[in-house]
Structure 1
Amino acid sequence: MLVPRRAATRGATPQLLAPPILAAVKTAVTVLSAALVAVLAALTVTSVRVARTVVTPAGRVPDTRILGLDTAAQTITLSSTPDSRLPGRYGLFTTGTEQYVKLGSVLAEDATTVKRKLLTHIGTESHLAAQAAFSGWYFARPEELHLPFTSELIGSPSGPCPAWLFPAAVDTDVWVIQVHGRGTTRSECLRAVPVFHELGITSLLVSYRNDGEAPRSRAGTYALGATEWRDVEAAVVFARRRGARRVIIMGWSMGGAIALQLALNSPHRDAIVGLVLDSPVLDWRLVLSYQAKLLHLPSPVTGLALGALGADWATAVTGTGAPIPFDRLDVVSRAAELEHPILILHSDDDGFVPSDASHDLLTARPDLVELEVFEVARHTKLWNYDQERWSDSIRSWVLRQGLTPAHAAAES
């Protein structure tokens, strides 16, 4: 007689897997765990590299190629890039018989090449290497402005920082202090000197720690504005000692972040009467996330890199010496703390620092912020693209704010 099988009941002991199946499962788990560890390790290594790249001062990177040079016609043919196609006047860092040449208007272009007029004379015996770097500086040295200037040293917490001082034609107590961006030097700011000189305002173009001209900090890395502002604060003290009563701070790109930290944190901010910001960084997390997308980096890499830069435990591997205070550097979220009138000049086609935060700051503080929106002009090349409009925007803003020497004299 057959005995019916007893139905399985709750709590019954499960049957063990056969040894071959158990071995296969263990092998699969081991392989998957090793793969997961490898993926996490790769993400971590990549994230650390990205984090270090953000804060490590770097040399100029070639971004275009010289494809042809016609010394008879004084023209140069470049590979086509979003920058090399831009209308206007620019510069080109080169190697060979010339280190830097000035470029004029676009004469011809197709899908792969751009022919431009040379504004620096190139002789028939000259030769240039193919690799070059396109520049918005235009002016490379202060002598090119044909204005009187002196070289100065400003004593800052990081040490003596070189500066160029362009005095106004007539003694004035209104100064503008110019702050360059990441990976550049004070030569970037030379374009702005003429418009302020026309307004009777003295210009001081400064350097700051780790920019290749000023002293190196202990870590030797950028703090993205969190510490650099103290060197610019020393420049404000320098200006006040030389007779400045009203100081405009102009910042380019990361120089905008530095200028805003100065305006928010310095005990000398009472001397500041306004800020002019060209293509400014207002929120580093937004900028770095945008650039990561351009480089097609996975979101986890970006998140890990930002987390590492902002964490105490990661300073040894990122090389920062201290965490980057992203919350403190987010000026949009701190908009209520702003006290000074601000003019922002930004291209919606910036390509490096998105203009979203500039629009957001205008929305948050329309009582203080004016935004002059450009198209096409790209990052910190607004002067090059449309010098007249750029200069008129600054000139009219200064006059509306009553920041010319004549206004200062009338109020004293």
Structure 2
Amino acid sequence: MRVIGVVAAGLAGLVLVLVALATLVTALFARAVVIPPRKRSEDTEVHVVDLAAGTVVLGASADACLPGDYSFWFTGDSGHARLGEIVTSTPDTVTRRILAVDFGDFVSARRGRFGGWFYLGPWELELPFENVTIDSPVGPAPAWWVPAGVADERWVIQVHGRAVRRQECLRAVPVFHAAGYHSLLVSYRNDGEAPESDDGRYGLGDTEWLDVEAGIRFALDRGARHIVLMGWSMGGAIVMQLVARSELRDVVRGIVLDSPAVDWVDILDFQGAGYGLPSLMRQAVIRTIGEPWGRVATGLAEPIDFARLDVVANAAALQRPILLMHSDDDGYVPADGSRALAEARPDIVTFEEFTVARHTKLWNYDPERWNGAIASWLELLAGRGAR
């Protein structure tokens, strides 16, 4: 009996340890979702940089194998290069063309990461622009304004995604400029440029839309009357909350979404599964973020209302035309939510579905198709009386 008691006590202790470990992992994952990252992981090895030949040999990561032109950050983001076409490849390596080395010692680099945003600033677009400041609810937020070539009342407000900055949106400026739109590229709370909120946490769109609303007020003060909103990744969630909740939503004439976060429950479940978390722990992560008691772990000022963020569940309330672009192999934000939104509202959603482009890299993979989709949709929008 004594042996049985010892075994039972040991098993009880093991269960307590496992429960404590699961609780810790759940809390850490929940915190990682809402805390802005200070460092980005470098998932691509750099084997050989041959500046004379203009090539680099990389490890065959998922991004390294993707055709197109990309930013490549290396050595803890201390260096930046731009990489182009794939020259050769093996099962383990990919050789790509070097388009430019903007700064840093590329030859000595050992690891790096691909980025979808290709331009470092609006000055590279060779268009006039202004550094402007938006009076957001959390304080002065920097933005770029790229005026249209002619006087017009049409504006597009660009909203970048999670863990990146305004530069992500620069790829869209030329196609909107060609269509006669002023472009406003905004920052928002906790993105590393705009002021932080009191809790310093992402709201996954539940709070950031207020800062984009301030961008609309800025545009209206400068003569805007018809506004298109474009959101990338989490920027898509921000945009959709704005059109659902803002008192200024009636000035929005259309929405463009690139790889948008449409259903956060589905996204977090997908990402948790990718890290090997069992289903119960993935559900616990969502509850931790979404319940008042979870604020002890997350540091959120208020829990995040996932039901309110579910665009598909609230699709019946949508009123504006939407151009939705997403890739089946996104790898970060599954395209299931976008597909479900397109199926729920075929009357207003134009779904441009990519097969191979990964997350927010659709322009990089096929700029002709991406630009063409936006240009054609803008023509249709004008035909609906959006001018």
Tell me the TM-score normalized by structure 1. 0.90
Counterpart in 1 of 2:25? 46
1:130 matched to 2:110? The reply is: yes
Shift of 1:95: 3.5
1:56 matched to 2:35? The reply is: yes
Q: Distance in 2 between matches of 1:169 and 1:274?
A: 21
Q: Distance in 2 between matches of 1:389 and 1:408?
A: 23
| Counterpart residue type for residue 318 of structure 1 | T
Shift of 1:349: 1.0
Q: Distance in 2 between matches of 1:40 and 1:365?
A: 43
Counterpart in 1 of 2:246? 266
Q: Distance in 2 between matches of 1:330 and 1:27?
A: 50
Counterpart in 2 of 1:316? 296
Counterpart in 2 of 1:286? 266
Shift of 1:25: 3.8
Counterpart in 1 of 2:125? 145
Q: Please list, as runs of the form range in 1=range in 2, the aligned pairs for 1:1-400 lying within 5 A after superposition.
A: 21=1, 23-58=2-37, 59-95=39-75, 99-120=79-100, 127-400=107-380
Q: Would you say the 8 A contact 1:97–1:127 is kept in 2?
A: no
Counterpart in 2 of 1:14? none
Q: Distance in 1 between matches of 2:77 and 2:227?
A: 41
Structure 1 residues 316 and 126 mapped into 2: Cα distance closer, same or farther (>3 Å)?
closer
Q: Distance in 2 between matches of 1:321 and 1:130?
A: 40
Q: Would you say the 8 A contact 2:80–2:102 is kept in 1?
A: no
SS state at 1:129 partner = coil
Identity of aligned residues (%): 47
CA deviation vs aligned residue, 1:81-109 (integer Å, no higher than 9, x gap): 11111111111012399721111100001
Gaps of 5+ in 1: 1-20
Shift of 1:62: 1.0
Structure 1 residues 122 and 73 mapped into 2: Cα distance closer, same or farther (>3 Å)?
farther
Q: Distance in 2 between matches of 1:292 and 1:285?
A: 10
Q: Would you say the 8 A contact 1:181–1:252 is kept in 2?
A: yes
Shift of 1:33: 1.9
| Counterpart residue type for residue 41 of structure 1 | A
Q: Would you say the 8 A contact 1:93–1:134 is kept in 2?
A: yes
Q: Distance in 2 between matches of 1:353 and 1:232?
A: 22
| Counterpart residue type for residue 29 of structure 1 | A
SS state at 1:119 partner = strand
Shift of 1:344: 0.4
Gaps of 5+ in 2: none
Q: Would you say the 8 A contact 1:98–1:128 is kept in 2?
A: no
Q: Distance in 2 between matches of 1:122 and 1:235?
A: 31
Q: Distance in 2 between matches of 1:295 and 1:345?
A: 26
Q: Would you say the 8 A contact 1:174–1:403 is kept in 2?
A: no
Q: After TM superposition, what 4+ stretches of structure 1 lie above 4 angstroms from structure 2? A: none
| Counterpart residue type for residue 27 of structure 1 | V
Q: Distance in 2 between matches of 1:280 and 1:158?
A: 24
Q: Distance in 1 between matches of 2:216 and 2:383?
A: 16
Matched pairs, number: 386
| Counterpart residue type for residue 25 of structure 2 | T
| Counterpart residue type for residue 57 of structure 1 | P
SS state at 2:217 partner = helix
Over the aligned positions, Cα root-mean-square deviation in angstroms equals 1.8
CA deviation vs aligned residue, 1:129-169 (integer Å, no higher than 9, x gap): 21211111111111111110000110011111100000001
